[in-house]
Structure 1
């Protein structure tokens, strides 16, 4: 019974996302197939422990401060963040663009670090947002370098959604894009996830030669894909390669 309760509690927490930040007890009960009394008992326990919080006006629940605190602990202790923070801040400062670090996690990209170009102390360890891999700069840098069987599994379970005007919507187009990314060494996402925004992404590898995640630079398409495109892309790839070396990856 205790194990079932723990699973139900984690199932409740997992219902919340950036697209669904607040839920009522009735919604939670329906989503998990629980009776309302059971759902209410679990939700109020999670609230008392700080994992959920209730909006006094809507009476709906959202993620609580305890999860935020634990998320910051997790992000601050990620090896890729520790190894990349100085390098990514340098990239942001040199290029004048926002740089991000993200990891491949459960079929999507979880942003773990953001570096702003304005000052040397504008680095933010964070968890989220979680973004789709097939249309984001980091995701499109990671996917082509996964083992073939993982790519096949990912595509088999993927439901394409149009996020912006240029979102890729077929597996065939995405696989062709993978080939271009492998040839260039970096990925391009231009108005595929967010209207008016483009991103370059480059993969980061581990000591075991497995792709862990990646880094990105983002700006308006006209700026990122303009006259400085090659310079920006080269700087991004050099930075990603150095982070990979810091992670223990070496080419033979």
Structure 2
């Protein structure tokens, strides 16, 4: 669950409840929510009832469990279309997947964490944590480190404050100092590695997707399992990966919302 935004009032509390329910990845009963929520029982109940009434949550009439509602699904789909890199990048990651033959991930940064927005499986798929819509750690994933490395100083400080530095594998970087040293190397090299830092046996090479002004838009990775490839083999795709990241960035720069296009034509 995200950290509490004390100054955001009822809206902030309602969003915290939505985050909490979504974190279970399944329908969840009120008693379970109460055990995890920072809010008093009456407050939690009131927020859940309001969210259900507005269609942001749905309650199963048989079990009484709550899950994200259809209205929330519609909003999420609209956000995916209008704010996500996925629709813009689709043809590029299709081609990268075809040429590399490995798993391709497209991600964006969300509060210092990684939000996977699209994925293409390898020719021989391997089960791994990342799926479109999942949130992963920034400090120990290739895409996460690729994005962190190119944030402004203020943005990076805020993002680092949100990292747990939990040790997932023996290779995980578990301190701010070691991560900062790694980010410096990534800036010099232009791309990042995941050396089994999040999942044992899973490695990747990742590149940031940067605007013309250097703003971080997202990141792209080529990921494989050590049963079928090596980090050296993945690094051989670095020129192709960087070229694809630049192409996605260029398309993102020239993309406009339909309403904005209409306004621009009207002004001519």
Distance 2:175 2:9 in 1: 39
Q: What is residue 93 of structure 2 aligned with on the other side?
A: 88
Provide, for residues 143-190 of structure 1, a one-character-per-residue CA deviation record: whole Å limited to 9, x for no partner. Answer: 111112322333344321122332110112111211221232211112
Residue 146 in structure 1 maps to residue 156 in structure 2: no
Q: What is residue 225 of structure 1 aligned with on the other side?
A: 230
Query: Closer, same or farther in 2 for the Cα pair 1:178/1:6, shift >3 Å?
Result: closer
- Pick the aligned partner of 2:112 from 97, 102, 107: 107
Distance 2:229 2:23 in 1: 27
Task: Measure how far apart 1:24 and its partner are.
Answer: 3.1
Q: Which 10-residue stretch deviates more, 201-210 or 51-60?
A: 51-60
The unaligned stretches of length 5 or more in structure 2 are: 1-7, 124-130, 255-268
Is the 2:115–2:135 Cα contact (8 Å) retained in structure 1?
yes
Is the 1:199–1:224 Cα contact (8 Å) retained in structure 2?
no
Residue 34 in structure 1 maps to residue 37 in structure 2: no
Is the 2:203–2:231 Cα contact (8 Å) retained in structure 1?
no
Is the 2:142–2:204 Cα contact (8 Å) retained in structure 1?
yes
Provide, for residues 65-112 of structure 1, a one-character-per-residue CA deviation record: whole Å limited to 9, x for no partner. Answer: 332332122112236223311111110111112212111121111111
Task: Measure how far apart 1:206 and its partner are.
Answer: 1.7
Q: Which 10-residue stretch deviates more, 236-245 or 59-68?
A: 59-68
Query: Closer, same or farther in 2 for the Cα pair 1:227/1:100, shift >3 Å?
Result: closer
Number of residue pairs aligned between Structure 1 and Structure 2: 239
Q: What is residue 68 of structure 2 aligned with on the other side?
A: 63
Q: What is residue 202 of structure 2 aligned with on the other side?
A: 197
- The correspondence of residues 1-252 of structure 1 with structure 2, limited to 5 A, is 5-18=10-23, 21-29=26-34, 31-36=37-42, 38-54=43-59, 59-78=64-83, 80-116=85-121, 128-221=133-226, 223-225=228-230, 228-248=233-253
**CA-atom RMSD in angstroms:** 2.8
